[in-house]
Amino acid sequence: MKRIAVLDDYADVSRSMADWSSLVDCEVTVFTDTVTDPRELQQRLLPFDIICLMRERTPFPASLISSLPLLKLIVTSGPRNLSIDLEAAAANNILVCGTESRKTTTSELATLMMLTLSRNLHLEVNAMQTSGWQTSLGRDLHGLSLGLIGLGKIGAQMAVLGKAFGMSVNAWSPNLSPDRCAEHDVQYQPSLPALMSASDVVSVHMVLSERSTNLIDAAAFSAMRDRAIFINTSRGPIANEDDLLAGLKQGKPWKAGLDVYAQEPLPDDSPLRDKKLVDEGRLLLSPHLGYVTEQTWQIFYSQTVDAIAAWQAGNPIRVLSA
C-alpha cells in the first residue's frame, strides 16, 4: 500500500477534482492546512511514499527531503516549483513530476483588483450591508496609464486587457528590451522609477528570484504618481512589505491590491492587516487567489493522479530536473 499525502488543500476540494480511486493500492490523506514548523512538518510527512504539492505553499528544501526515508515521488501542481530542491531530490532517488497549468487566471484577478480599487466596488458593497447607497465616486480606467513590471506571458495578457479598457500601457523589467515592448505595442520605460512615475496603475508580473526580491522598495514607491494604484499578484517578496505599508500611509501608492505575501497564509498579526487602510478602501487583500479556479484545479489534480499512475506503471511523465 502506497501512502499519498496531498498538502495545502485549503478549500478541501482535491478529492472532487480528480478520480483518486483509480490509483491502485494507494491510500490518500488530504491536509487542508500549512505547517511551517520544520520539525512538525517532517513528523507529519514521515509515513508517506508520495507527496503532492500545491505550487509553492509548502517549500521542500534539501533538509526536509533528506529526512523522509520513505519518500519516492513528489508531484507538484504546475510545470515548475522553485521551492523544491531538485538536486537534493535526485540525490535521494526521489522523482519529481509536475502538471500543466492555465495561463489566464492571474491576469484576470489582477484586472479584477484594478477595477475594484478604481471603482471603489469593495467600499460600496460593504456600505450596502449597512443600508448605505452611493457613498463615493469611482474612477474610469479609460485614459489612464497602466504600468507593467514584467512583460512575460501574464504581463502580455495584462497589456491586452489594459488596452481593451482604453488605457495606455508601458512596461519595465531588468531584462526587458524595447523590441519586446514594440512586439506588444507597449511603451518601453528605461527604469523602475520611470515606470512608476509614468503610471496610474502599476501591476507586478515577475518571477521571484534573488534579483527580484525587494525589487520594489521605498524609492520606487516614492516615485509613483499621485492617486496611483499598486497591484501585486505575482510573489509577495518582490515588493518590500514594510516599504509598501509606509508608502501607503504617506499616500504613495494611493491604493494597493495584494494577493501575495512574504509569508503565506498571511499571519493574523501581520502589519498588512491595517484596519484603517482596509476600512478606507485603500488596501485590498485577497488570499493568493491568482491561480485558484475550478478549471485550474481540475488540471492540477487530474494530472497529479495521472503522474502517480504513470510512475506506478514505470513510465513517469512530466519529470522535473535541476
Q: Where are the beta strands (DSSP E) in 91-196?
A: 95-97, 145-149, 168-172, 187-188
Grid look-up 514584467 returns 150
Distances (CA, A) of 29 to 12, 13, 49: 11, 13, 12
Query: Which of 94-98, 155-159, 207-211 has the lowest average pLDDT?
Result: 207-211
Grid look-up 474612477 returns 139
Find, among 172, 265, 266, the residue nearest to 245 by Cα. Answer: 266
- Each residue of 58-91: pLDDT tens digit? 999 999 999 999 999 999 999 999 999 999 999 9
Q: Does the pLDDT value for residue 279 go beyond 90?
A: yes
Three-class secondary structure of residue 116 per DSSP: helix
Share of the chain above pLDDT 70, in %: 100
Q: Where are the beta strands (DSSP E) in 160-223?
A: 168-172, 187-188, 201-204
As a whole number, mean pLDDT of residues 16-45 equals 96
Peptide bond between residue 267 and the one before it cis (omega within 30 degrees of 0): no
Q: What is the pLDDT of residue 69?
A: 97
Domain ranges in the chain?
2-102+293-312, 105-285
As a whole number, mean pLDDT of residues 133-151 equals 97
In angstroms, rounded to a whole number, what is the distance separating the alpha carbons of residues 107 and 119?
18
Q: What is the pTM (predicted TM-score) of this model?
A: 0.94
Grid look-up 475550478 returns 294
Class of domain 2-102+293-312: alpha beta
Angle at the Cα of 114 (from 110 to 119), degrees rounded to 5? 150
Distance between the two ends of the chain, CA-based, in angstroms?
30
- Each residue of 35-47: pLDDT tens digit? 999 999 999 999 9
As a whole number, mean pLDDT of residues 226-237 equals 97
Q: Residue 184: which residues within 8 A CB-CB, separation 6 or more?
A: 151, 156, 159, 169, 171
Q: Which CATH architecture has domain 105-285?
A: 3-Layer(aba) Sandwich (3.40)
Q: What is the pLDDT of residue 322?
A: 85
Edge to edge, the sheet with strand 26-30 lists 26-30, 2-6, 50-53, 73-76, 95-97
Q: How confident is the model at residue 177 (pLDDT cuts 50, 70, 90)?
A: very high
Find, among 296, 213, 220, 211, the residue nearest to 260 by Cα. Answer: 213
Q: What is the pLDDT of residue 136?
A: 94
Q: Do domains 2-102+293-312 and 105-285 have the same CATH topology?
A: yes
